[in-house]
Structure 1
Amino acid sequence: MLATALAALLAAGALDPVPAAAASGPSGSASTDFPASVRAGGKARVTAAVLDLDGTGREPALYGADTAYDTASIIKVDILATRLLQAHDSGHGLPAQERAQAEKMIQHSDNTAANALWRRIGLAPGLQAANKRLGLTSTTGGPDVRWGLTRTTASDQIRLLRAVFDTGAATGAGAKPALDDTSRAYIRTLMSGVADDQSWGVSAAAGSGWALKNGWLQRNTTGLWDINSVGRITTGGHHYLVAVLSDGNKSMKDGVALVERAARSAVSSTAVR
């Protein structure tokens, strides 16, 4: 899987260096430190955000500093949401070719399909216009064709997940969700059917079900890895939206292990609040 991931990223040009974006501002939710068993070593860092969809709170619980990270391939959910908004605005659904690209992009993390849809949405400006409607406030699109270098926060990823999974999500009081029911169901279906070799990540905290999208990217400036996972899980009779972002990992294997420890810890801590 590691060799395949490296080859795909090189083909997409996602490993080209760019300056790191500044950290995001406060999200409005207090952050809690991870226990020692989760904390990253070396240059690695990790942040998680969890929202209990069956709880009474509407702000996510935060673990670690809610600062900006590279998205890597988790941006593919945002790309698809953007394209679906655009298609709805035009009064037409996605054409067959774009549906095929969307399915490859989400379920197999196909970079060629992502490249095509990134251009179709109008690159970063198209993404950011859609994100205003989706409620994201701390996500900046990657430069030119390098969608994997989009910068985001765990809190913003929860906002995106709410737009997809939370039936009560809306952009304001009395407003309707930005995505219509058909678009939301389509994204949920694709995220529930990712390829077996990509079923790691927030699924480690799940009990009876999950839907997710993962991202992995080795930065050629440092040789270190960005490893991310976002999605909805079901455990203990509750549905949770979970976003775990990390960078500075020595290897993909180390990053996956860190993300999964963080997901399990964050969900269990949120469940007892």
Structure 2
Amino acid sequence: MTHRTSLRARVLPAVAAAGVLAPVVAGAAPASAATAPQVSCTSGKAGLAAKLQKDITTALAGRAGTVAVGLRDRTTNTTCTLRATTSYDSASIVKVTVLATLLWDAKKTNRYLTSREAGLATAMITKSDNAATTTLWKQLGVTKVKGFLTAAGMTRTVPGSGGYWGLTQINVTDEQRLLSLITAKNTVLSDNARAYILKLMGNVVTSQKWGTPAGAPASVSVHVKNGWLQRATRGWRVHSVGTFKGGGHDYTVSVLTDGNSTMNYGVSTIQAVAKVIHRDLIPAAPAASRYTPTTTPQEAYIAVPRG
């Protein structure tokens, strides 16, 4: 697929070497039960902040691991945060940043994406293709990724070194900042770049639509990117970020987790939070069955060092 609406581009040289695939780590110790989360919410709509704070806290009660949550609804001027600046290994969540960097760089040099770049970008987001991500990461180089992060105001995100893009350090504050740039007019990303990112996030394969879309009403458009990674320390990292618009609301949700004993445990934690957020924002709307997550989510394991 060639994207030539207003994204001007030339091919960039590849740099740096990619990491090697690490085997699945067996027997990672489950994290101990988390302490009661301190969710903080504010809202321009009476009663909504207190309801969200209570319901998110209840959804996380007794869950093991470390969970971070970010919510912003432009329509009601509502925000919720939990562990907003806690750092996590990114896993495949960083792929949205890689795409944004590619488009930001294209804008700077007034070029179109090549058909090759568009194909890689599509595979990276819609299928979470790791080889495509490594190719684009090498092409851009860490210097350009850092340049985008600075322009985007994502000051606490640290790109993974040695080609290990899956070990980029991310946090809820910066992920919410990125989603905000994708969903509203700004000087960092062009309107066509934003539309392109949303188009790809809206076409994620069915087996990867779990996470933040869980419980989203049929009236709401959904754009999502998930990621997961198992390591010897802190068990499974499982993350989901999404943008949602409809039913009188325009909101973004980020949920990052680690210390999960299994991948599905992390998925369940994220979906418990997502369901109460969608319900509290749009209480009268039934959830769309098309966003029911698969019981067997699939994604290739990303390149990380052993351990």
> TM-score scaled to structure 2, two decimals?
0.71
In structure 2, do the counterparts of structure 1 residues 254 and 98 end up closer, same or farther at CA, with 3 Å as the change threshold?
A: same
In structure 2, do the counterparts of structure 1 residues 184 and 101 end up closer, same or farther at CA, with 3 Å as the change threshold?
A: same
Q: Which has the higher helix share?
A: 1
In structure 2, do the counterparts of structure 1 residues 249 and 189 end up closer, same or farther at CA, with 3 Å as the change threshold?
A: same
Find the structure with the greater CA-based Rg.
Answer: 2
Q: Give deviations 1:228-269, integer Å, cap 9, x for gaps.
A: 001112364212111110011111111100011122234555
1:100 & 1:140 partners in 2: Cα distance? 26
User: Do 1:40 and 1:46's aligned partners in 2 also have CA atoms closer than 8 Å?
Assistant: no
1:101 aligns with 2:115: no
- The equivalent of 2:190 in structure 1 is 180
In structure 2, do the counterparts of structure 1 residues 109 and 14 end up closer, same or farther at CA, with 3 Å as the change threshold?
A: farther
- The equivalent of 1:117 in structure 2 is 136
1:162 & 1:204 partners in 2: Cα distance? 20
- The equivalent of 1:252 in structure 2 is 263
**How many aligned positions are there?**
238
Q: 2:230 aligns with which of 199, 213, 218?
A: 218
Which residues of structure 2 form unaligned runs of 5+?
1-18, 26-38, 42-52, 284-307
2:206 & 2:169 partners in 1: Cα distance? 27
Residue 137 (structure 1) shift: 1.6
- The equivalent of 1:48 in structure 2 is 69
% identical equivalent positions:
34
Q: Give the AA of the match of 1:104.
A: A
User: Do 2:83 and 2:172's aligned partners in 1 also have CA atoms closer than 8 Å?
Assistant: no
1:186 & 1:36 partners in 2: Cα distance? 36
Residue 39 (structure 1) shift: 3.3
Q: Secondary structure at the match of 1:109?
A: coil
Q: Give deviations 1:86-139, integer Å, cap 9, x for gaps.
A: 11212211111111000000000000000000111113x321211111121211
Q: Give the root-mean-square deviation of aligned CA atoms.
A: 2.5
Q: Secondary structure at the match of 1:202?
A: coil
User: Do 1:202 and 1:229's aligned partners in 2 also have CA atoms closer than 8 Å?
Assistant: yes
User: Do 1:226 and 1:246's aligned partners in 2 also have CA atoms closer than 8 Å?
Assistant: yes
User: Do 2:70 and 2:253's aligned partners in 1 also have CA atoms closer than 8 Å?
Assistant: yes
- The equivalent of 2:173 in structure 1 is 155
> TM-score scaled to structure 1, two decimals?
0.79
- The equivalent of 1:164 in structure 2 is 182
Q: Give the AA of the match of 2:110.
A: G
Q: Secondary structure at the match of 1:156?
A: helix
- The equivalent of 1:206 in structure 2 is 216
Q: Give the AA of the match of 1:76.
A: K
